[in-house]
Amino acid sequence: MRLGIIVTAVNSLVSLALALPAPRPNFDPRSVVRQVRQAGRREHRRGSRSRPSSRHATRPRRPVPAPAAGLEDGEFLVDTSITLMPGPYDRTLPAVAFDGSNFLVVWEDDRGFDWYYDIYGARVTPAGVVLDPTGIAICEATDDQYCPAVGFNGPNFMVVWEDYRDGDYLDIFGARVSPEGEVLDPAGIAVCTARDDQFSAALESDGENFLVAWEDYRGDWEDIYGARVTPDGTVLDPSGFVISHGDRDQCYPAVGFDSANFLVVWEDYRGVDGGDIYGARVTPDGVVLDTSGITVSTAVNGQYYPALSYAGGNFLVAWEDYRSGSSYDVYGTRVSPQGAVLDPSGLAISRASDDQAWVDVGSDSANFLVVWEDYRSADDIYGARVTPTGTVLDPSGINLTPVADYEFTPAVGFGGGSFLVVMENDTVGMNIFGARVTPQGATLDSAGFIISRAAQDQYSPVVGFDGADFVVAWEDFRSGTKWDIYGARVTTAGAVRDTWPVTTRDRDQVLLALACTPGGRMLAAYQSWTGTVGGRGYFAPRVWGRLGRYAGIEGEGRLQPVSGDGLIATMIRGVLDLEVDSLCQTEFDVGLR
């Protein structure tokens, strides 16, 4: 009798679901996940984001998921066609460059299910149109790739990053990307693979070759090294050359070019009062002109994370500054092509309340645009224009995305008559947003626009139709410790009616499949780790199911079947394990009529 019920139940559910006159949804099921997640976030608005102690803070290594257990006799996977949302995880640390026609935005991306970061990019027009909405895979090598930087030298872009494919130490790798979005070096270019770690890469072009600079740990302290890379991808200095080997650490380099020489600046700890900002000029032939370094700023309490650009005959170097002793501000100074520091006490670019952090600088050949994270009221991106004579045109700052919140790590480029500021946005997952700013300081995209979006903590949505409404279900990580299954009913007009937990039992629930019937019932099948059920030990991933009404389908975490309106069924080894009594039979039959 049980077998007949099993076959009838499953066949009837599937046939009935297929026979329903389901209209084509006029909404994206993924948007339902985003709506629900946004509603949940409003209940738990996070406070000020903690400032990282270091841009290169050690990331926790993600555990690689174990392969699925082998199939046993009689076992089959119920869900063999899973709807996966593109890029379910984070996009972080964007950088941007312009080729005369379009921008190339690059970022860290962990959309892959190997649990490691890769380097992705997308081209964006000056009008804000994303030409590569699914992204360009620039590097998906073994293990992690971090912290990209990008520049343009005339024929192609060059992207460089920290690379962990060695498995023991970080190296510097790169790849050229054509203006058409083609990755010319899919295996990557090994810029430096010296012993120990190399990280925090930056680069700039002199119109022909690139100078790549990085933080290098082959000695007793972290030093600044560099290497030149030709347009065809040849590394002219495969071992790198020393740019700064001062006492203690030198870190976080940035590179600019003034039409004659490069200027490399970095955070320097040769002093005893926190970090300072130093720099050195480097010729296109790789000769370091300032071997002892140029003292850019040694104000009290520390200066950190410099950035720079060139316009109007001088460089503008800007940084995070803690001279107030109470919060981080944005300061800067101009440096001449001869290496003279024109504003030795620094220019106060922003001293707003609370912290200003993570600075970047761009220029339109007439003025500079300095951008930063700003915490005066929310997690926003602000900017200010600075003239080549050192005048701050926007002393109160410009909120570049006043409609949006939770933006971090800005980077800026100029082209096509406007600046493009790119940033992380954490409104719904960590995504890459953009916003354009005119040379006059007007914001063109007050809410920003999506360059690459990920669902972060809810993904893999599936959709069914019950004759009246759509039912959307997805994997959900709102617990913070494991994956559950949640669902929502959505009208044919795209309005979310209600949401509920489908299952929140112990261990992860993933790989979801869904069928619906008239009258408000559904069968959800999913994979979950299974211990002992019915006196038998499985101790492996198995397919489970939930059969019941939408509202209140969540049980009490019981693994044994129960009868009644909250009917729970489990599928173990492909069998619908449903104990039958008169009430259970009635409820089950009603759901199939």
How far apart CA 400 and CA 392 sit, in angstroms, is: 17
Query: Do both 312 and 443 map to the same domain?
Result: yes
Residue 482 pLDDT level (bands cut at 50, 70, 90): confident
Query: Do both 220 and 198 map to the same domain?
Result: yes
Query: Do both 299 and 217 map to the same domain?
Result: yes
Query: Do both 8 and 114 map to the same domain?
Result: no
Judge whether 499 lies within some domain: yes
Judge whether 321 lies within some domain: yes
pLDDT tens digits, one per residue of 427-474: 766 678 888 899 999 999 888 888 776 444 555 666 666 777 767 777
Examine the pLDDT at 7 and tell me if it is beyond 50.
Answer: no
Judge whether 88 lies within some domain: no
**Which residues, 6 or more positions from 266, have their beta carbon under 8 angstroms from its beta carbon?**
215, 224, 244, 250, 251, 252, 253, 254, 277, 278, 279, 306
Examine the pLDDT at 562 and tell me if it is beyond 80.
Answer: no
Judge whether 113 lies within some domain: yes
Examine the pLDDT at 32 and tell me if it is beyond 70.
Answer: no
Examine the pLDDT at 41 and tell me if it is beyond 50.
Answer: no
Rg, the chain, Cα only: 28
pLDDT tens digits, one per residue of 136-157: 999 999 899 999 999 999 999 9
Query: Beta strand 380-386 with 368-374: parallel, antiparallel or unpaired?
Result: antiparallel
Instruction: Look up residue 175 and give its amino acid.
Output: A
Query: Do both 220 and 343 map to the same domain?
Result: yes
Residue 48 domain boundaries: 2-83+456-592
pLDDT of residue 395: 96
- Domain boundary among the residues 452, 477, 505 is at 452
How far apart CA 420 and CA 411 sit, in angstroms, is: 8
Query: Do both 268 and 234 map to the same domain?
Result: yes
Query: Do both 62 and 129 map to the same domain?
Result: no
Judge whether 338 lies within some domain: yes
Judge whether 473 lies within some domain: yes
Query: Do both 407 and 473 map to the same domain?
Result: no
Return the axis-axis angle of helices 582-592 and 2-19, rounded to nearest 10°. Answer: 20
pLDDT tens digits, one per residue of 14-29: 344 434 444 545 544 4
Query: Do both 50 and 15 map to the same domain?
Result: yes
Query: Do both 126 and 70 map to the same domain?
Result: no
- Domain boundary among the residues 428, 452, 476 is at 452
How far apart CA 30 and CA 105 sit, in angstroms, is: 24
- Domain boundary among the residues 410, 430, 452 is at 452
For residue 553, CA distances in Å to 37, 256, 465, 490, 500 come to: 20, 60, 17, 17, 8
CATH code for position 127? 2.130.10.120
Query: Do both 492 and 586 map to the same domain?
Result: yes
Judge whether 266 lies within some domain: yes
Query: Do both 553 and 417 map to the same domain?
Result: no
Domain count, the chain: 2
Judge whether 535 lies within some domain: yes
pLDDT tens digits, one per residue of 175-218: 999 999 999 999 999 999 999 999 999 999 999 999 999 999 99
pTM of the predicted protein model? 0.66
